[in-house]
Structure 1
Amino acid sequence: MVDAINSFVDQLLGVGNDAQVILKAVEADPACAMANAQVGAFYLFAGGSVALTKAKSHLKVAKSYLKRANAREKLYVAAIEAWANRDIAQAIAHHEALAIAFPRDLASVHLAQYHYRNFGNSQRMLVIAEKVFAANRDNPYMHRMLAFGLEECHRLAEAEEYGRIAIALKRDNRWVHQLLTE
């Protein structure tokens, strides 16, 4: 189950083609609140009414197991549930709280950036990446997220610098390659 969750996060952050790997986590442990919430996120990214129904179904399961969940998992479930309920401001508030309490949760930071971008708030995309950067200097995805925020704020030279660091840390980093070729 942990391997499937880690693979999903890697797919999410690396813009991979195998995000459905998260379904294996729920198969391995149907009572895992985090796995069910991440399956919910997987379906919410897909969009559409069928995907929303599936997402809400997994979130209902996740909520039923929150007694066993830790603080991070509870916040994550709340963030995804808010997204499913189209309360994006609340989803962002939960992701911001996760960034403060659990700065190494880059999946949550990624989702915050996703929501900020959809709201057209480039500055907040950058701020949340900067907020967690110190805790993640060694992570290529962190450099990519910082580069993305910088690019959205039209700070292109800095974005390119962080993008090149991201590629140096992890050569197969699709999002950064796209960023540097735009």
Structure 2
Amino acid sequence: MHQDSLGNPLTLDDAASLLAVNDFVEGFIASEARAANVLAAAQDESPIVQAYCAALHLFAESRDAVPNALPYLRKAQAGAQRATARERRFIAALDAWAQGDLALAVALHQEQAQEFPRDLASLKLGQYHAFNLGDNPAMLRMSLTALPAAADVPYVHGMAAFGHEQCHRLREARACALHAIAMCRKEPWAHHALAHVMLTEGQLEEGLGFLQDVSDTWTGLNSFMYTHNWWHAALFLIDLGREDEALAVYDTHVWGVEKAYSQDQIGAVSLLARLELAGLQVGAQRWAELADWLAVRQQDHVLPFLDLQYLYGLGRAGRTEADVLLANIEHFAPRAPASQRDTWVQVCVPAARGLLAHARGDLRTAIDQLGLALPSLSRIGGSHAQRDLFEQIHLDALARGGNPRELGAAQSLLQQRLNAQPMSRRLARQADAAYATLGLPASGGAT
């Protein structure tokens, strides 16, 4: 029997497929584009080859993802009886994913981590689902389960680092990320985890310098990893008051790699919105060009985290498709898969109404509707740094809404943020504006 490069037994009909399988496994855990090379082996009807092909299609995160994945998934299921127990569980997890039962998928990937801890492709996929459910403890638990048996692989330390960080265990996250990078300087997921830690701890100059230093290793990556790490660099630039440089990062590194891909699109929406909230005029043309790609997302509803950002981008571009998408979200929410239905109804719907209202200048509705969603926002998935966009939008509405009590609430939130990130020029400017309106002394923050 064959084995993949991590030592996991494989059921292969064609030995020539081994290279493509390893490209998937190694490329997936390293965030490299070569993971897609397994599609070239699709003529091999080995269950695991078909399963990996199905996974790639599901990662498209579009309404076409499941229909495109199903032919491969059905072939994998048809051959599952002759596959290994590890391969069968991976196929079952894919089936749960395709059916929208992410909670079951997470449970199956957790079982896989316990029984086959060197199946790091399964671990990475399980973390992806837990992340999208806002289940940060599951992300950490899976990585810690596999870590003892896979400690020789740098990428598992990067996965553990991000799990720690999302659970607010910053010291542990930093240690795991640095260990991963010491093992392999080109470990972009560990770079990403460390960037989260440094942003949270207010190490703005240091975080920017670190990302710039390792950016020479960001070659051969999938578009998400490449654009997202540059997105993180742009966040440091914005907080440092270097918005023009952040906009240049948008133009050269964040938007334009894979314009049709969901993650590239939401990264672009988020960065343009943050630049505007920081006071920079990004230009209507950038929103208009982005909206042309968002307009096809009106009926996707793959993840609430994605729909919300598509909606805001369409709203900022002044597109009527935003109204269609909002109506579609409201219609879909009570019909969503059972494991996610409450999140769609209780969190996504009010957040969507609030975001579109803000995009159109209706601050009263933005305050009220986002206020309903924010306490449970973690349920929509995304990282702390990504979800912070929605909190910034709500804060902006509070600060500009004209109600003294709400302005006082904005002051409180801004000062707490400035206390955590005292070197943020963006936060100092925003806080000082609130203090001036309230007739109070300036914050004394960075200038």
Question: Do they fold alike, i.e. is TM over 0.5?
Answer: yes
Question: Once structures 1 and 2 are overlaid, which stretch shifts more, 57-66 or 9-18?
Answer: 9-18
Contact persistence 2:159–2:189 (CA under 8 A): no
**Alpha-carbon separation, structure 1, partners of 2:194 and 2:108:** 31
Aligned to 1:110, what secondary structure does the other structure show? helix
Q: Deviations over 1:69-119 (max 9, x none)?
A: 111111110001110111112111211221121111011111111111111
Unaligned 5+ runs, structure 2: 1-16, 197-447
Q: Which has the higher contact order (CA 8 A, sep 6+)?
A: 1
Equivalent residue for 2:132? 118
Matched residues, number = 180
Q: Deviations over 1:100-143 (max 9, x none)?
A: 21111011111111111111111111111111111011110110
Matched, 1:89 2:100: no
Q: Which amino acid is 1:108 matched to?
A: S
Contact persistence 2:102–2:133 (CA under 8 A): no
Q: Which amino acid is 2:34 matched to?
A: D
Q: Deviations over 1:36-73 (max 9, x none)?
A: 11111111111223221111111011111112211111
Structure 1 residue runs of 4+, over 3 Å off? none
Within 5 Å, which residues of 2 pair with 1:22-171? 22-27=38-43, 29=44, 31-171=45-185
Unaligned 5+ runs, structure 1: none
Matched, 1:2 2:11: no
Equivalent residue for 1:172? 186
Q: Which amino acid is 2:119 matched to?
A: D
**Alpha-carbon separation, structure 2, partners of 1:175 and 1:61:** 32
Deviation at 1:13, TM superposition (A): 0.9
Deviation at 1:150, TM superposition (A): 0.5
Contact persistence 1:140–1:169 (CA under 8 A): yes
Matched, 1:14 2:8: no
Q: CA RMSD in A?
A: 1.2
Q: Which amino acid is 2:166 matched to?
A: E
Q: Deviations over 1:6-25 (max 9, x none)?
A: 11112211111233112023
**Alpha-carbon separation, structure 2, partners of 1:40 and 1:173:** 25
More helix by share: 1
Q: Which amino acid is 2:128 matched to?
A: Y
Aligned to 1:120, what secondary structure does the other structure show? coil
- If the length of structure 2 is used for normalisation, what is the TM-score? 0.39
**Alpha-carbon separation, structure 2, partners of 1:155 and 1:128:** 16
- Structure with greater Cα Rg: 2
Contact persistence 2:155–2:189 (CA under 8 A): no
**Alpha-carbon separation, structure 2, partners of 1:170 and 1:26:** 31
